[in-house]
Amino acid sequence: SQQGEEDPQALSIQEGENATMNCSYKTSINNLQWYRQNSGRGLVHLILIRSNEREKHSGRLRVTLDTSKKSSSLLITASRAADTASYFCATDTSGGSYIPTFGRGTSLIVHP
Amino acid sequence: EAGVTQSPTHLIKTRGQQATLRCSPISGHTSVYWYQQALGLGLQFLLWYDEGEERNRGNFPPRFSGRQFPNYSSELNVNALELEDSALYLCASSPGLAGEIAFFGPGTRLTVL
């Protein structure tokens, strides 16, 4: 079963709007990461947030983490057509081994 | 600095055949992960190698196997191919057991006819 699950499965917005996607996970984590995948290609790392952090920014990206709810959100502000991609959250586990475990992703389409 | 590379880009096989996929990690990275991404199923963890040893494997049958070579490159072998093995196979590397970020290759698209 997937450790992280993204929501919504698909999101369609207009250029300039903000896009928010959520990730829920099941077990305790050391960190949570967000990745982006352009159609049929490899994943690109976007941002890492540690379990003792609540919010992190990188350019137009804002990530929050709520460990009490076992959830995270990724906000992309002022979206662009080039942001069209699938976005995945990945969690490690707290069991000592680092194995990035992914959800099914959110497919984001930004219309120009 | 060169990223993670994978070969071949595309691979077409028939049911029952064997497939071999290759991955070269980023220089200095000792950990290699393999994932299967079938349509609509997200990334499923297959195998993790570090320092030449298999550290963990996902919930896949034994016909999925691999190895890591002394130069840390890795090979994924899939025996007795089935139609449902058709997927994008992604390799990722990280700096080792303490690595926190996985860097992905472009993937190998395996099609089983």
Q: Which of B100, B103, B110 to mutate to test the interface with A (most CBs of A within 10 A)?
A: B100
Confidence (pLDDT) at A30: 85
CB nearest A102 (choices: B42, B88, B103) = B42
- Taking CB atoms and an 8 Å limit, are A42 and B33 in contact across chains? no
Over residues A66-89, the pLDDT tens digits come to: 999 999 999 999 999 999 999 999
User: E strands within chain A?
Assistant: 4-7, 10-14, 19-25, 31-37, 43-50, 55-58, 61-66, 71-76, 85-91, 101-102, 106-111
Q: How do residues B40-76 score in pLDDT, each as one tens digit?
A: 778 999 999 999 999 999 999 999 999 999 999 999 9
Q: Which of A33, A42, A88 sits opposite B107 (nearest CB)?
A: A42
Which residues, 6+ apart, have CB-to-CB distance to B65 below 8 Å? B47, B76, B77, B79
A94 pLDDT higher than 70: no
B110 touches chain A (CB under 8 A): no
Assess whether pLDDT exceeds 90 at residue B7: yes
Residue B99: per-residue pLDDT: 62
pLDDT at residue A55, rounded to an integer: 97
Q: Does A102 touch chain B (CB under 8 A)?
A: yes
pLDDT confidence tier of residue A99, bands split at 50, 70 and 90: confident
pLDDT (0 to 100) of residue A8? 92
Chain A: nearest CA to B35, how far in angstroms? 10
Inter-chain residue contact B101 with A92, CB threshold 8 Å: no
Q: What is the pLDDT of residue B42?
A: 85
